[in-house]
Structure 1
Amino acid sequence: MRFRLSDDQVALRRGARKLLEGSFGRQALRAAVDAPVGLDRALWRVLGEAGFFGLRLPEADGGAGLGLPEAVLVFEEAGRALLPGPLVATHLAAGSVPGAAGGETVVAAVDGELVEWLDAADVVCGDTSGAVPLRSVDPLTPLHRVARAGEPDPRAALLTAAEQLGTAGRVCELAVQHARTREQFGRPVGAFQAVQHLCAELLVRAETARAAVYAAAVTADPADIAAARLLADEAAVQGARDCLQVHGGMGFTWEADVHLHLKRAWVRARRAGGSTQSEELLAAGLVD
């Protein structure tokens, strides 16, 4: 079976990337990292007005009337841009929580033992009793640990996988770009076989995860989503690590963006049906 994006889907992805480059480009990302001030409500409203949160709502309710495959494309772009905030929770709350679709209401969700952006949320879905603030490894994702882990929504697992896919694709781009331009011993570092192998492995993991995530968006099968989530988490985390290795000492500096992708990938991997829960669900599906 040939699986290709439609012209409308390609245009949607292109439009999402253009929107994020204009509203949360690298300069805005670095400014947010260097001086964290909490959730940017103005940016949240821009996303709402652009239809980011109401993408899957029926047109009669003010949405775009699209489905999970289109939502996955948009969240992949959000992951690529390291867009901060409880994006998944607010998107899933659109239509049930007033103001969520338009970006006026920020929604957080208890979908595991960690809750993101709890203090910034107007509405929290789930039990947050006994919530304890944690020091997050990701400077743009404040975290709380809750006493009772919430049950993850498969759609949240899929959209998180899409964000991880965005990171996997971006770190692959960064690694290849650096390998082509950085010179050592009078040659681009990409001329060395060890670096070529790392870049090839980055691409293979990203494209394997992409096929699984896109397919799971079409079937919406819990086992397919669990498999896609495992592959996407691996592609993002291991991909960011390999990207750091390609960059060498430069990758570990604060000025480089690679460490930000790795930190976000670590945090996402603990959200909504992370590795352990996905493995259990996939195993159950194989047994059945």
Structure 2
Amino acid sequence: MDFRLTEDQEALRRGVRELLGRLFDREALRGAVSAGRLDRSLWRELGDAGFFSLCLPEEEGGVGLGLPEAVLVFEEAGRVLLPGPLVSTHLAAGSVPGAADGSVVVTSVDEGLVPWLDEADVVLGDVTGAVPVRSVDPLTPLHRLPGTGGRVHPFHPADRPPTTGALLLAAEQVGSAQATTGMAVSYARQRSQFGQVIGGFQAVKHLCAGMLVRVELARAAVWAAAVTGDPVEIAGAKLLADDAAVGNARDCLQVHGGMGFTWEADVHLHLKRAWVRAELGMAAARAEETVAASL
């Protein structure tokens, strides 16, 4: 399978990266953490740019692109830790009025959790009795449905097949894994110990090389699943992407040392978001059962 992007796809990815660089830079990221609320003006700007209507047909007011293009866009969103129920609002475009243009925020029940419940205008699913829980990620407030306790309910692949949402979350994980790889390499080139930059030490080289392998393997799996739409490939892609996002954030922390845990470094935010995303869309137990059932 040829995974080289077309000129239009390259232009899309470049355009989204430039857009997010303008709308959600590092200062905006820090501001979002401090505010603890969803920026409605940012949400509307994303809607105006076609973020949520990307896969809607042109005759319905959308951009008319496909799942492979959506994966590229969500990868960029994960790279900058763009907050909010992006996947739910994207999937609701075309069925929930206002979702496509960003004037309405949509969230949904996901593995017993409901992200951004207090900020949402529309909630898909029954959230009766949902209670707030302390989220490890300051950019993803959570509620939990009573009785779920964080455990995945018994699942049969024929009853609950993997969804597009799981793949888009996997794409965000890939973007985050790519970001932490870049952060680790950049820090390793600057930080000096024992008279030389730490990037010259073999142990650090191995960590960075392992991070690159994880992110490229996960990206290939996510892109392949976006092309085929196969439920089993989506499940496998989610497993690999979760592993890449969490594993790369951990290794990036290792490269940074104690500095990585301080407020000055963003790597701890990537690790916390990766933990939360890994429990959404399709948690590991359900993804593993989906893959195992196909073997």
| Bin of the TM-score, shorter chain as denominator length | over 0.9
In structure 2, list runs of 5 or more residues that go unmatched: 154-159
- Hey, what does 1:39 align to over in structure 2? 38
- Hey, what does 1:269 align to over in structure 2? 278
Are the counterparts in 2 of residues 36 and 140 from structure 1 also a CA contact under 8 Å? no
Q: State the shift of 1:186 in Å.
A: 1.3
Question: Deviation digits for residues 100-146 of structure 1, max 9, x if unmatched?
Answer: 00000100011211110001000000110110101111011100001
Count matched residues.
Answer: 285
Are the counterparts in 2 of residues 111 and 152 from structure 1 also a CA contact under 8 Å? no
- Hey, what does 1:16 align to over in structure 2? 16
Question: Deviation digits for residues 152-180 of structure 1, max 9, x if unmatched?
Answer: 75101000000000000000000000111
Give the whole-Å Cα distance in 2 for the aligned partners of 1:152 and 1:101. Answer: 25
Q: State the shift of 1:277 in Å.
A: 1.0
TM-score by length of 1: 0.97
2:290 pairs with 1:281: yes
- Hey, what does 1:169 align to over in structure 2? 178
SS at match of 1:235: helix
SS at match of 1:164: helix
Letter in 2 for 1:101: A
SS at match of 2:117: coil
Matches of residues 139-288 of structure 1 in structure 2 within 5 Å?
139-147=138-146, 154-286=163-295
In structure 1, list runs of 5 or more residues that go unmatched: none
Give the whole-Å Cα distance in 1 for the aligned partners of 2:163 and 2:281. Answer: 8
Question: Deviation digits for residues 28-52 of structure 1, max 9, x if unmatched?
Answer: 101221x224110000000000000
Give the whole-Å Cα distance in 1 for the aligned partners of 2:49 and 2:177. Answer: 25
Q: State the shift of 1:2 in Å.
A: 2.6
Give the whole-Å Cα distance in 2 for the aligned partners of 1:98 and 1:237. Answer: 35
- Hey, what does 1:59 align to over in structure 2? 58
Letter in 2 for 1:9: Q
SS at match of 1:39: coil
Letter in 1 for 2:182: E
Q: State the shift of 1:197 in Å.
A: 0.2
Question: Deviation digits for residues 180-209 of structure 1, max 9, x if unmatched?
Answer: 111111101000000000000000000000
Are the counterparts in 2 of residues 36 and 139 from structure 1 also a CA contact under 8 Å? no
CA RMSD of aligned residues (A): 1.2
Are the counterparts in 1 of residues 129 and 146 from structure 2 also a CA contact under 8 Å? yes
Matches of residues 17-166 of structure 1 in structure 2 within 5 Å?
17-33=17-33, 35-147=34-146, 154-166=163-175
% identical aligned pairs: 68
Give the whole-Å Cα distance in 2 for the aligned partners of 1:158 and 1:13. Answer: 17
Change (3 A) 1:130 1:225: same
- Hey, what does 1:3 align to over in structure 2? 3
SS at match of 1:255: coil
SS at match of 1:277: helix
